[in-house]
Amino acid sequence: MGRPRLILLVRHGESQGNRDKSVNRYIPNHKVPLTEHGHEQAKHSGQLLRKYLKEDDSICFYTSPYLRARQTLADIIEEIDDLGVCYKVFEEPRMREQDFGNFQSTPEDMQEMWVERAKYGHFFYRIPFGESAADVYDRCASFNTTLFRQFDREDFPSILVLVTHGIWARVFLMKWFRWKVEYFENLQNIPHCSWLVMERDEKNDRYKLKTHMATWSELEDRQREEKMKEDASDELQLSANAGLSANEVSKVVNAAVKAEDEQVRNAKYDHLLNEADGVACENCRKC
């Protein structure tokens, strides 16, 4: 078979860490499980996967070793098992999410770190005792090399499925399609259990990203500001439970929004971002 006709990426379902960031203070990140809603999302994702399959398809699943990703994969497979499709499953440590540094600190310390990251830049900012997105990029580069070797085999399955995380999926696509750093930082996060579809063009043997990647710059100013505040509040778990006053919460959120909004405004007019979604570098033989 050689190169698969489809490469499908899916972010894990909603986890306890997505529901309540405080669990990261006492549960190792790799052991954070799915919520009940996350399992439902994963099962629905499995039902959607059925629509991509042809009668003679076979699947190669690669999954992050994190519990929430492995649980998502198990739910997906359960939804297609009755089809009798031939599949293989591999666990790949290089597909783990960006390392945020063991157990997380106090809400106040985490809020300060997220604001600092927004000002510094999401791609190059290295989490204390953890990784930057640039470090994840290096892992993706190594994993891609492994995939290209696998694609040389004639018996490689017709569909490759990568069950992973939000940051990792965006970095993987950035590496594959040679996106600029500015474009990566302009991308919104990927919804839980949403499929990202890469389809191979038989004429040139390259892949086209069929799924639209939502960006901050495509939103109107008011929409962007409201969405950023919503995402920042969710990411930082800013609430009365964190022991912060309403003014303190507003100060932290506004600082993060201001920093990210400045990056978006710069990126919006950068000619380097004029590349269409999924357009591969013309000089890249591996895209």
Find out whether 218 is annotated in a ligand binding site: no
Tokens of 220: 């109107």
Find out whether 265 is annotated in a ligand binding site: no
**How many Å apart are CA 166 and CA 15, to the nearest integer?**
12
Find out whether 13 is annotated in a ligand binding site: yes
| Residue 91 known to be catalytic | no
Find out whether 16 is annotated in a ligand binding site: yes
Residue 59 neighbours by CB distance under 10 Å: 23
Instruction: State the catalytic residue, choosing from 92, 97, 131, 260.
Output: 97
| Residue 97 known to be catalytic | yes
Characterize the bridge pairing of strands 195-201 and 206-209: antiparallel
Find out whether 117 is annotated in a ligand binding site: no
Residue with tokens 């950023």: 228
Q: What's the maximum distance between 2 C-alpha atoms anywhere in the chain? A: 61
Find out whether 68 is annotated in a ligand binding site: yes
Find out whether 111 is annotated in a ligand binding site: no
Taking a C-beta distance cutoff of 8 angstroms, is the pair 219, 23 a contact? no
Taking a C-beta distance cutoff of 8 angstroms, is the pair 30, 46 a contact? no
Taking a C-beta distance cutoff of 8 angstroms, is the pair 68, 12 a contact? yes
Find out whether 204 is annotated in a ligand binding site: no
Find out whether 178 is annotated in a ligand binding site: no
Give me the active site residues, please.
12, 97
Annotated binding site for substrate: 11-18, 68
